[in-house]
Amino acid sequence: MECVFCGKKVPVEGKISRRDTCPHCQRDLRCCKQCKFFDHRAYNECKEVMAERISDKERSNYCDYFVPKGSKEISGTIYRTREAKEALEALFRK
């Protein structure tokens, strides 16, 4: 993973806990700005539709939908939303 604050590579093994920090700049790793779903143009600055609003995007939080940027994981909610949309489109096709 690459830290969004300092741009340096951060070795990560397993899940990132709320207390983990970047060894280079000491900034929180489990925060919105380090998450795959962070997008300043999206509602609440998050692409994950089920996530609660987090006011401080640069501080550690307890979001259950956190996925580190660059990760190949996909959130279960987004996957289910995509699956439901495809099913509806298939239902209403002519």
User: What does the DSSP assignment read for 3-52?
Assistant: -TTT--B----SPPPTT-B-TTT--BSSSGGGBTTB-TTSGGGBS-TTPP
Report the pLDDT value the prediction gives residue 74, as an integer from 0 to 100: 58
- Supply the mean pLDDT for the chain: 87
Task: List, for residues 21-62, the tens digit of each pLDDT value.
Answer: 999 999 999 999 999 999 999 999 999 988 999 999 999 999
Better-predicted residue by pLDDT, 88 or 20: 20
> Taking 90 as the threshold, does the pLDDT of residue 86 lie above it?
no
What is the SS3 assignment for 2? strand
Report the pLDDT value the prediction gives residue 92, as an integer from 0 to 100: 84
